[in-house]
Chain A
Amino acid sequence: MNSPLWIVAAKEVLENIRDRRTVLTALLFGPLFGPVLFAGMLGFSVDRALDDDTSVLTLHAAGAGQAPNLSAFLTAQGIEIQPLETDLAGARAAVANGERERILFIPGGYAEAVRSGRIARVQLVADSSDQTGNRDTDRVRRALTAYGNRTGLLRLQARGVDPAILQPLAVDEIDISTPAGRSVLLLGMVSYFLLFAVLMGGFYLAIDTTAGERERHSLEPLLGLPVPRWQIVGGKILATWLFMMLSLIIALAAFAVSLQLVPFEELGMRSNFGFGVAVSIFLALTPFAVFAAGLLTLVASFTRSYREAQSYLTVVLLVPTVPIIFANFSGVRPDLLTMAVPSLSQHLLITQLLKAEPLSALQATISGVVTTGLGLVLIWLVARLYRRESILG
C-alpha cells in the first residue's frame, strides 16, 4: 500500500470524491439513468398493454337500440355501449372536432338486413391519425369482426353446413420461447445501460487525471518526482477503474430494485435478475472496466485541455455501443469470435444471463481474457505516452 501506484490512486479517489460534478456524474446520473428510465418506460408501456385487454372501453353508438345482440356481444368483450342520438354527418363532425374519440353508427335498415340474412352495414367513425386512439379503435374493429364471424358460423350451422368448410387451412404457431427468454426483448437494453454506467463512472476521472492535471500545471511537478512514470499512470487508471466499478455496483443495485416495479408475470415473462445473476454480470463487466479505463485515459491523454478531452470522450462513449447495435440488427449469436470483441462479448454474456441460458465457460473465459488483454495494451500505450517529452504540452 506504500507503493506510489496506490498513493496516486488513493489521492485521485479522494480528490474526485470531493468534486461534486464527478460524484454526480459517476455515482448518480451515470448508473441511475438507465434503471430509472427503464422502470418508468417499461412500467408505462406494460401498464398500457395490460390495460388494452382488461379495462372497460366506452364506445358511443348511434342506433344501438336496433342491435341488442351486437351490444350484448360488445359488452361481453369489455366494450360498453353509450347510446347516442345523431346522424352520420353529425357523427363525423363529433369525431372530427374531438368531442368523441370514435362513434359506431348503426344505420336504419340494420335490423331488417340481419333478419333477412343480407349484409348489414355499420359505420365505425374514427380518426386514424390519432396514434393513441388507434389501439382502442383496433380493439373495437376486432370485436366487430369477431361478432360477424360468429354470426356467420351460426347461420351456416342453421342451414346444416359444416362451418369447417370456410376454414380450409389452420395454422398452429408453436412458440418455444421461455418466460425469461420473452422478457429479454424488454430486458435487452439492460446490458447497454450497464456498459454506459461503467463508462460514465470513469468519464471525469479519466479527464481530470490527465488533461485536467496538465491544464492545472500540476503534471510537471508530479512527473519530476523520483517515481517511475508507469506507477503514476497505473495509479491514475486504477482510480478510474475503481470509480467505474463503484458506478457499476450502484447500477446493478438500482436495476434490481427498478425491475421489481415491472409486472413481468402478468405479461407471461420473468425477470431473471437475482443476486446470483447480478454477481455474474459484475464479474463479466470487470474486464470491460479495465478496457474502458485504458481507452478513456488514452484518449484523454492525447488532448490538450479539459474541454477538448470532454468533447472527444463524449464520442468515445458511443464506440462500445456500435458492436451492440450491429449485433441487434444482424442477430449475432455468441461464438468464439464474437467473444473476442470487447463490449459485444459482455453484451452477449449479459443477455444470456438474463435469459437464464447456460453460459459456456470457454466463451466467458475468452471474453474476460481478451478484453482484459486489450485493456492492458491500452494502459501500456498510456504509460508509453507519459514517457514522451511532449506529454508536458
Chain B
Amino acid sequence: MIEAHGLFKHFGSVRAVDGVSLRAADGCITGLLGPNGAGKSTTLRLLSSMLQPDQGSAVIDGIDLATDPMTARRTLGVLPHDAGLYPHLSGRENIAYFGKLCGLSRERVQARVAELIDDFALGEFADRPAKGYSQGQRTRIALARAIVHRPRNLLLDEPTAGLDVMATRGLREQVRQLRDTGRCVLLSSHVMQEVTNLCDHIVIIAQGRVVAAGSPDQIRSQAGQEDLEEAFVSIIGSTEGLE
C-alpha cells in the first residue's frame, strides 16, 4: 500500500506539489490523472524517495520513506518516465543487473529473469542488445526490470507514453497481471482514456493539488456527469494538457 500524507514540494517559486494526500490500495490499479505540469511526476518521485518532500510524508506498506528509505525501496518497483536501458546489454542482462543489485543470488536471478521473460512474453527480443529495441520493447523490459525483486508496490510514471497501440495493449496487460497477483499499482497518465480503461481507483491532480479521488462511479456522481471524460473536464476545468 502506498500512502501520501500532505506532501509539499516547491522548486523556487514553483509549487510543483502543493499538499497531495492519496492512498493506493493493494490488488488495485490507482491512476494519477492530470494535465502536463500538474505535479504527477514530482509526486511519484516523492513516493519513490528520489526527492525529499518539503513537508508531509510518504509511507510504503507502513514504512515511512524519510526514516527507513532502504527498507521501503525493497518493497517498491519504480518505472520512471521514459526509463532507459543499457544499450550494450541485452534485455535479459538489463533485468539481471538490477536483480543482482537487489541482492538476489546468481541462480535466483537467472530463474527470476527467465520467469519474467516468460510471464510477459519478452522472449522474442530479450537476448538482443537493447540498443536496437523499439520504444515499446524498451518499456516492457524496463517494467520487468522494475519488478525483478518482487516488490509489492509499483510506481509507473506515464508507462504508455510514446508506445503504439499494440505495445500499449501489451503493457496494459502486464500491469493487469501485476494487479491480479495482489500488488499495489500507482500509475500516472495524462490520457483520460487510459485511466478510464485501466484503473480501479482514480486520483485527479491539477496544479499540485488533488481535486478529486474515487472509483470511476464515484467520480461520475461527484461531477454530476454520465460520461467519465466529461466528468474529468468539469472537475479540472479545462482539457488543456489532457488527451
Question: B102 at interface (Cβ–Cβ under 8 A)?
Answer: yes
- Complex Cα–Cα for A259 and B74 (A): 56
**A residues less than 8 Å from B78 (CB atoms):** 220-221, 224
A216-B73 contact, Cβ under 8 Å, with A7-B101, A225-B101: no
Q: Among the listed stretches B29-37, B83-91, B171-179, B205-213, which one makes contact with chain A, having 4 or more residues with CB under 8 Å of it?
A: B83-91
A7-B146 contact, Cβ under 8 Å, with A15-B86, A218-B84: no
A234 to chain B, nearest CB (A): 13
**B residues less than 8 Å from A223 (CB atoms):** 50
Question: A68 at interface (Cβ–Cβ under 8 A)?
Answer: no
Question: B145 at interface (Cβ–Cβ under 8 A)?
Answer: yes
Q: Which of A185-235 contact B (CB under 8 A)?
A: 216-218, 220-228
- Complex Cα–Cα for A225 and B74 (A): 7
Asked if A389 contacts B50 (CB within 8 A), the reply is yes
Chain A contact residues: over half helix, strand or loop, or mixed? helix
Question: B185 at interface (Cβ–Cβ under 8 A)?
Answer: no
Q: Which residue of B lies closest to A16 (CB)?
A: B88
Q: Which of B207-221 contact A (CB under 8 A)?
A: none
**A residues less than 8 Å from B23 (CB atoms):** none
A21 to chain B, nearest CB (A): 11
Q: Which residue of B lies closest to A223 (CB)?
A: B50
- Complex Cα–Cα for A15 and B78 (A): 23
Question: B48 at interface (Cβ–Cβ under 8 A)?
Answer: yes
Question: A19 at interface (Cβ–Cβ under 8 A)?
Answer: yes
Question: B117 at interface (Cβ–Cβ under 8 A)?
Answer: no
Asked if B88 contacts A19 (CB within 8 A), the reply is yes
Question: A11 at interface (Cβ–Cβ under 8 A)?
Answer: yes
**A residues less than 8 Å from B129 (CB atoms):** 18
Question: B51 at interface (Cβ–Cβ under 8 A)?
Answer: yes
- Complex Cα–Cα for A381 and B83 (A): 27
Asked if B98 contacts A221 (CB within 8 A), the reply is yes
- Complex Cα–Cα for A7 and B87 (A): 17
Question: A154 at interface (Cβ–Cβ under 8 A)?
Answer: no
Asked if B73 contacts A226 (CB within 8 A), the reply is yes
Given A19, A218, A225, which contacts B85 in the complex, CB threshold below 8 Å?
A218
- Complex Cα–Cα for A8 and B100 (A): 9
Given B50, B85, B87, B100, which contacts A224 in the complex, CB threshold below 8 Å?
B50
Question: A14 at interface (Cβ–Cβ under 8 A)?
Answer: yes
- Complex Cα–Cα for A4 and B81 (A): 25
Contact with B along A218-261 (1 / 0, CB 8 A): 10111111111000000000000000000000000000000000
Most chain-B Cβ atoms within 10 A of its Cβ — which of A11, A217, A218, A224? A224
**A residues less than 8 Å from B142 (CB atoms):** 221
A217-B70 contact, Cβ under 8 Å, with A8-B101, A14-B89, A224-B48: no
Question: A392 at interface (Cβ–Cβ under 8 A)?
Answer: yes
- Complex Cα–Cα for A15 and B129 (A): 11
**A residues less than 8 Å from B145 (CB atoms):** 221
Question: B110 at interface (Cβ–Cβ under 8 A)?
Answer: no
**B residues less than 8 Å from A218 (CB atoms):** 83-86
B189 to chain A, nearest CB (A): 18
Q: Which residue of B lies closest to A17 (CB)?
A: B88
Q: Which of A1-56 contact B (CB under 8 A)?
A: 2, 4, 7-8, 11, 14-16, 18-19
Q: Which residue of B lies closest to A391 (CB)?
A: B50
A217-B101 contact, Cβ under 8 Å, with A224-B78, A389-B51: no
Question: B76 at interface (Cβ–Cβ under 8 A)?
Answer: yes
> 4 new A-B pairs (CB below 8 Å) besides A221-B98, A226-B70, A392-B50?
A11-B86, A14-B88, A221-B78, A224-B49
* Interface residue ranges, B against A (CB under 8 Å): 45, 48-52, 70-71, 73-74, 76, 78-89, 97-98, 100-103, 105, 129, 142, 145-146, 149
A-B contact pairs, 15 of them (CB 8 A): A2-B105, A7-B101, A14-B88, A18-B129, A217-B81, A217-B83, A218-B84, A218-B86, A221-B78, A224-B50, A224-B73, A226-B71, A228-B70, A389-B51, A392-B45
